[in-house]
Amino acid sequence: MSDPETLSVTIVDGYVDEPAHFGVPPYISTYPRYTAGALVDAGVPREEITYHTIDGLRDEPDRWRDVDEADLLIYLGGMTVPGKYVGGTPAEPDEVRKLAWTASGTSLMGGPVKFGVGEENAGATETERQDLDFDFVAKGDVEAAVHDVVESGLEGFDNRMRDVDEVSRWAREGAFIVEQHPNHPEYLIAELETSRGCAYRCSFCTEPLYGNPTFRPPPSVVGEVDALSDLGVKHFRIGRQADILAYGGDGEAPNPDALRSLYGGIREVAPDLETLHLDNMNPITIVEWPEKSREGIRIIAEHNTPGDTAAFGLESADPLVQEENNLNVTAEECFEAVRIVNEEAGWRPGGPRDPRPDGHASADEDAPTRLPKLLPGINLLHGLKGEREETYERNLEFLRRVYDEGYMLRRVNIRQVMSFDGTEMSETGAEIANDHKKLFKRYKRQVREEIDNPMLARVAPTGTVLPDVHLEYHQDGKTFGRQLGTYPLLVGIPGERELGKTTDVAVVDHGYRSVTGVPYPLDLNAASMDELTTVPGIGSSTAGDIVVNRPYESVADAEFGGEVDLEGFATARPLERAD
């Protein structure tokens, strides 16, 4: 038997990406926080709990000593909807095995990895359940398994799910673990869970494996935010749910009162938060309960921060694919949901549609343009049962209609299916996705060129200001960074700037899924040639003239024939004179 008070525990975060849960940096998922809370609740002192990300182990090999010497090693990870990541690289199966081989004490693995492991973290793959040489695999909730295995003296546990009272305690008690995350506190966004499970049963999705929806009451979530806020966390994403509009109800119909308590409570305990975003919203909810949904969407837009995205799981606009995979929304219904979100939440702070009592009072013709408060994002999934060449054209038709009728999408997420045991897709596997790889690549390029580029220019027109862009890496003489939030825009800035800093940026050009920006405000008396020539219509000759004719008393004094009105995002600061 092991005494919890003398137990040393190492938690390794290999990162997660699930249909309703994100944990690749700069995100921190709920798993390490709840696990830490469960350990404390079971009697393990906080000072005996060490947390590392998989990137931290890669960067500093000496940290592997904590894996080796721990009485209990806990690995948390699993990718069920993998994508492309900038802030971190999820653990590969061979790295997870190395953790088990290195651990001298008891080893326990949990998280979505329990659903299966592929040869790599990628779409169009088939998975199988593996223990990856760990002593224990939590097939229920890993935090419940951790709590029980400690109480048993590391002898074992029952595979069970934790209850609401437990998660309410563990969420608060485990908040301290964020202080050990390498991104803490400036560049860390905490994923928040409001519910688990789903009322629907789409063929490919692992979320229904958690059962029907169960909800954490507002005080449970608000208490967690309060604890995280006290530890310096200022960025939050309400991402761990299948449908935010169904929060606090029967799992299907909207409950605006619950949303008001949730969002209002968060704003009360964290008044200085800098990001409050969400992830999943079911378009069928909006169509079936339009008035309650409109009220819920207005509540969200009142409390959130700009640039928020409501991910819509359309998955396919093809009726045949919809039928064969139990998809719950048609293309027509999804279009109606896109329209409603645009109408209720597609306004910009300080803009002409700002519905807040002081919105128009704060509006100023010289005020910078901001991103809309909340827009839909579309998820499209390929390799599903029944997919055919016509499927790709129907998806394109849907996206073209949204654009042609003047609505906005924050992003279009296109991926290929992964097949997991326990889902209907396990019978089909990745065969269709692999057969259609060439078709998929051509279609994906079409979406990027025909939809993503012009849509991005609509969502973030030239002059749009993106505050607090975190500078992450250098490439081709530019510095790239992102804001914290749901699906943040990748921003390229001329020149190699100091990484790890933040800067305000004004958008000047658009790619497929990224934008080019210049520091905001752009000072004409100090801007570099690279910054000036990035602005559309200002070539090297005009930029040279601007530099030669400095200083300027105002932006209007700088005469040039550019395509863009600089008045909205440029300035002419007086030059500092030497004493």
* Span 79-98, average pLDDT: 83
User: Quick check: 536 and 560 in contact, CB under 8 A?
Assistant: no
Q: Is the bond into 521 cis (omega within 30 degrees of 0)?
A: yes
576 located within any domain: no
578 located within any domain: no
468 phi, psi to nearest 5 deg: 55, 55
* Span 131-158, average pLDDT: 92
The torsion region of residue 464 among left (phi > 0), alpha (psi -120 to 50) and beta comes to: beta
Q: How far is CA 356 from CA 115, 298, 348, 459, in A?
A: 45, 10, 11, 21
Radius of gyration of the chain (CA): 25
* Ranges 21-30, 108-117, 296-305, 398-407: which has the least confidence: 108-117
Here the tokens at position 480 are 């790239």
The pLDDT tens digits for 554-563 are 988 887 666 6
The pLDDT tens digits for 231-273 are 999 999 998 788 999 999 888 899 999 999 999 999 999 999 9
Last residue of a domain, one of 457, 483, 504: 457
577 located within any domain: no
* Span 65-83, average pLDDT: 89
Residue (of 134, 129, 78, 72) closest to 109 by Cα position: 134
Question: Could you tell me if 393 and 479 lie in one domain?
Answer: no
Question: Could you tell me if 216 and 71 lie in one domain?
Answer: yes
User: Quick check: 178 and 53 in contact, CB under 8 A?
Assistant: no
User: Quick check: 171 and 34 in contact, CB under 8 A?
Assistant: yes
d(CA 579, CA 84): 52
Question: Could you tell me if 445 and 474 lie in one domain?
Answer: no
Question: Could you tell me if 367 and 447 lie in one domain?
Answer: yes
Asked whether residue 429 carries a pLDDT value surpassing 80, the answer given is: no
pLDDT of residue 119: 46
d(CA 240, CA 220): 14
The pLDDT tens digits for 483-524 are 999 889 999 999 999 999 999 999 999 999 899 999 999 999
Indicate the number of domains in the chain.
2
Classify residue 182 by burial, with Cβ atoms within 10 Å: 0-12, 13-18, 19+.
Answer: middle
Asked whether residue 439 carries a pLDDT value surpassing 90, the answer given is: no
Question: Could you tell me if 452 and 470 lie in one domain?
Answer: no
Q: How many CB atoms lie within 10 A of CB 286?
A: 30
d(CA 384, CA 387): 6
CATH number of domain containing 146 = 3.80.30.20
Tell me which residue range forms the domain holding 507. 464-571
d(CA 202, CA 281): 15
Residue 67: enclosing H or E segment and its boundaries?
Answer: helix 64-69
Question: Could you tell me if 497 and 529 lie in one domain?
Answer: yes
